[in-house]
Amino acid sequence: MATTITRRGLLASSLPLLAAPRAFAATPERPNIVYMYADDLGYGDVSCYGATRVKTPNIDRAAAAGIRFTNAHSSSATCTPSRYSLLTGEYAWRKPGTGVLPGDARLIIDPGRYTLPAMLREAGYRTGIVGKWHLGLGKGNLDWNGEIAPGPLEVGFDESFIYPATGDRVPSVFVEGHRVVGLDPADPIVVNYQHNIGNGPTGAANPELLRMHPSHGHDNSIVNGISRIGYMSGGRKARWVDEDMADTLTGKALGFIERNHARPFFLYFATHDIHVPRVPNKRFVGATGMGPRGDAIVELDWSVGQVLDTLERLKLTRNTIFVFSSDNGPVVDDGYRDRSVELLGDHKPAGPLRGGKYSAYDGGTRVPFLVRWPGRVKPGTSDAPVSQIDLLASLAALTGRKLPADAAPDSWDVLPALLGQSKKGRPHIVEHASALSLIEGDWKAIEAHAGPKRNQTGNEIGNDPAPQLFNLREDIAEQHNVAAEHPEKVKELLALLEKIRKDGRDRP
């Protein structure tokens, strides 16, 4: 490095030696980061967001010691696109092929791409994923009995213990690193999403073998008395037991924290709860009187408690940012007759919001979002508009990483909002269901979209052949479409949405 004679120059040239990790931000920090991602948990499903028939003391404990966001969003109203956006910082709707994936899909994130875990690894973190993946594995025509790659380890994670897609999709096995866990080579796994393999029983042909019946779809291969989406044969010893999934995944999450407690770590813990099939452990059966859906929330809350207790025991609480959220809004009947509709009573999974999973109304993407960092974050609530997609840019800012110009095109640095220092957040929220929506300030426009008003779950999708407009401040339940009264507002918001679409990036 060239040194200049001026005092200032000499000082500047010696600085990097003294403070190499501070190269990018004024005061970068490296707290541990735990991102706990529930599946299909709604805005009204936990007690700190107003639920009364289900109690979630551990989630509430994180809320009480942190910031409870009231206007935080998943990027999409379903799983794969939300998770794709979370990890890449790119709106999934920009990239075809990022919708809900089958269990035999190829990896949809290019290996080597700048991702949330890759960024944190560069910042000196040990990175780990436990739980739901649902972003595809391999390059197509994967042999489940060999090396399963590329996958999480090729897009930024140092350690990986996942299940490939969803609890209701085959293959119903865990994958650790590059291998199926507990696979007996004499009983190889074959997966097919077109037709049955061999003569294994299916939900369609053998309903008498089922302990939980489908309400729609879900009538292919039977695993543990529950028929799934897709067909699999073999791998009998490797198949998971639904009742034990939360224990297995939570145990792996705690193991990761324990192994890495002495260094900065990033744990992405994506639970199976409360996705279908809802089969909580018998410890939680009957906990709520709401059937498996309510009991799965209590099981999820137990997992949160285990993580918080472990951080406490290892004296990591003060030096760990704990974030809790959900990948999309709630759904009651998502394809199995598990009595959740009958036992729902007055419980409101989406709280005051309209719609739920799959929906362009706010119930689709406005989800619980908690940030706890004792000592650094003052407890309270925040209505700052933030999106999960912003974690990449925000955590880069925290840890002093400079995003390459073409990385994470839609991720805003909202770190001050996440730390409770500002109510500003991102300038607008883009919501993604069948239709796209744009929220700016009090106003929300949903673009025109053909298609059914509801899908088979009964959830409203938000489709309408004409654009819709709501004033969320006055009408959080989106009951009054005021597009006809404010055509200029509709035009303005949809023009901004169009610009974001055309520009190929949202962030500055």
In the complex, the residues that contact Ca ion under the rule CB under 5 A are 39-40, 79, 327-328
Of 71, 78, 310, 365, the one binding ligand NG6 (CB under 6 A) is 78
CB 365 within 8 Å of CB 81: no
334 is an interface residue for ligand NG6 by CB under 6 A: yes
Residue 334 interacting partner from Ca ion, ligand NG6, none (CB closer than 5 to 8 Å by kind)? ligand NG6
**Residue 470 backbone dihedrals phi, psi, to 5 degrees:** -130, 150
**Among 105, 37, 34, which Cα is nearest to 272's?**
37
| Nearest CB to ligand NG6, comparing residues 78 and 172 | 78
Site string for ligand NG6, 268-287 (x = CB under 6 A): -------xx-----------
CB 293 within 8 Å of CB 273: no
Question: How far apart are CB 506 and Ca ion at their closest, in Å?
Answer: 23
**Among 214, 210, 213, which Cα is nearest to 223's?**
210
CB 266 within 8 Å of CB 215: no
| Nearest CB to ligand NG6, comparing residues 257 and 276 | 276
Residue 267 interacting partner from Ca ion, ligand NG6, none (CB closer than 5 to 8 Å by kind)? none
**Among 426, 435, 409, 408, which Cα is nearest to 76's?**
435
CB 245 within 8 Å of CB 228: no
Question: How far apart are CB 275 and Ca ion at their closest, in Å?
Answer: 6
Residue 216 interacting partner from ligand NG6, Ca ion, none (CB closer than 5 to 8 Å by kind)? ligand NG6
**Among 38, 69, 33, which Cα is nearest to 56's?**
38
Local structure of 252: helix, strand or coil: helix
| Nearest CB to Ca ion, comparing residues 39 and 154 | 39
Question: How far apart are CB 109 and Ca ion at their closest, in Å?
Answer: 18
| Nearest CB to ligand NG6, comparing residues 275 and 372 | 275
**Among 422, 424, 356, 346, which Cα is nearest to 385's?**
424
Question: How far apart are CB 214 and ligand NG6 at their closest, in Å?
Answer: 8
Question: How far apart are CB 22 and Ca ion at their closest, in Å?
Answer: 39
79 is an interface residue for ligand NG6 by CB under 6 A: yes
CB 30 within 8 Å of CB 262: no
Question: How far apart are CB 74 and Ca ion at their closest, in Å?
Answer: 8
Measured CA to CA, the distance from residue 239 to residue 222 in angstroms comes to 11
Torsion on CA atoms 141, 147, 152, 155, rounded to nearest 10: -80
| Nearest CB to Ca ion, comparing residues 192 and 215 | 215
**Residues in touch with ligand NG6 (CB under 6 A):** 39-40, 78-79, 100, 134, 166, 168, 216-218, 229, 275-276, 328, 334-335
